A and B are shown apart, each in its own frame.
Chain A
Amino acid sequence: MSILCFRTEDVNSGGFMLRVEERFEVESESPHESFITPYDTFDWRMYGNGYFAYATPTSFNIQESLAPSPFLEREMRSVPRFWWEFKDDRLRALLKNITGIRALLPLPGLEIHEQKHRVRNEDGKIVGRLSILTHAASEDGARCYLLIEPLRGYAEERDSLSAMARKSGMKRLPCPLLEDLLLVHDIHPGDYSSKLDIGLRRTQTITEAALAIHGQLLSTMRSNIPGIIQDYDTEFLHDFRVATRRTRACLSQIKEAFPPAIAAEYNAGFKKIAQRCNVLRDLDVYLLEKQRYYDLLPQHLHQGLDQYFAHIKRRRKAQHKSFADFLQTKTFASTLENWGAFLESPQTPAGSPPAIEVARSRIRDRFRKIIKKGRKISTASPDKDLHSLRIDCKRLRYLLEFFASLFPAKKMDRLIKHMKGLQDNLGEFNDLAVQQGNLSVYLARSGHNAPQHQLRSAAIGGLLAVLSNRQNEVREEFFHSFAEFDSKQVHTLCKELFGEG
Chain B
Amino acid sequence: MRYAMAMDTKKCVGCSDCVVACQTENNVPHGFCRDWIVENVDGTYPNLEMEIRSERCNQCEDTPCVRTCPTGASHIIEGGIVKVTHVECIGCGACIQACPYDARYFHPDGYVDKCTFCDHRVSKGQDTACVAVCPTKCLYFGDLHDENSPVSKILRERKWKVNAPEAGTKPQVYFLI
A binds B: no
